[in-house]
Amino acid sequence: MLALASGYTFVARAFAYDVKKTTELIEAAIKHKGLAFIDILQPCPTYNDINTNEWYRQRVYNLDIDYAVKSEDDVQKKLDAAIDLSRQTDKIPIGIFYQNELEPTFEARISDNIPNYPAVNPASQKIEDNGLSITSTDSFINSLTV
C-alpha cells in the first residue's frame, strides 16, 4: 500500500518459490515505463519455522484479473482495487496489483521543465545562472493551485 501511496505506477507481489511467476513479474517491471515496485515474499528456510514455504503455498493465489489502467476513468477504480488487495490477510494475492502506463514518466516530466534533459548528461547540465535557478517552477506552482 505504501508503494501505491508513493506514486509507483507498477505494483506487484511475487512468491520467491514460484520462480516462473517471479521471473515474469520482474521482466514486466523492467519493461514498465515508470516507477516499479515488487514485494517478493521470501521465506527463510534457516531461521523462520513459522512462515515456511508450505505456509505460504497454502495462502498465496494468483491474481487473474487485469489491474492495468486502460483510461483516465479507470485510475481511481484500479487504485482502490489494488489497495483492497494489499489489505487481505487470510489469503495472499500474487501478481500485478496496479499498472498505469498513462502516467507520464519521471523523464517526461523533467523534460517538460528542462527541454534539453534527454540530450545532455544530467551531471553536465547547467542548473543555475549566477546563483539563480534556470528551471521554471511556474507549471508546478500552477498545478498546486486549487
* Shared domain check, 84 and 14: yes
Which three cell numbers mark 57?
Answer: 503455498
Which three cell numbers mark 128?
Answer: 543555475
pLDDT at 56: 93
- 76 by DSSP, 3-state: which? helix
**pTM assigned to the model:** 0.76
What is the count of structural domains for the chain?
2
pLDDT, one tens digit per residue, over 61-72 is 999 888 889 888
pLDDT, one tens digit per residue, over 67-119 is 889 888 888 998 898 988 888 888 999 999 999 999 998 888 888 887 777 78
* Shared domain check, 140 and 125: yes
Please tell me the distance from the alpha carbon of residue 97 to that of residue 1, in angstroms, as a whole number.
10
Please tell me the distance from the alpha carbon of residue 76 to that of residue 64, in angstroms, as a whole number.
20
What is the sign, positive or negative, of the torsion defined by CA atoms of 23, 95, 1, 3? positive
* Shared domain check, 36 and 94: yes
Please tell me the distance from the alpha carbon of residue 11 to that of residue 144, in angstroms, as a whole number.
26
Which phi and psi angles does 65 have, rounded to 5°?
A: -105, 145
What is the sign, positive or negative, of the torsion defined by CA atoms of 58, 82, 6, 34? positive
19 — pLDDT class (breaks 50, 70, 90): very high
Side chain identity at 35, as an amino acid letter? L
Please tell me the distance from the alpha carbon of residue 74 to that of residue 101, in angstroms, as a whole number.
12
* Shared domain check, 122 and 54: no
Which three cell numbers mark 77?
Answer: 477504480
* Shared domain check, 40 and 79: yes
Q: 117 near 109, Cβ under 8 Å?
A: no
* Shared domain check, 125 and 95: no
Structural domain containing residue 9:
2-100
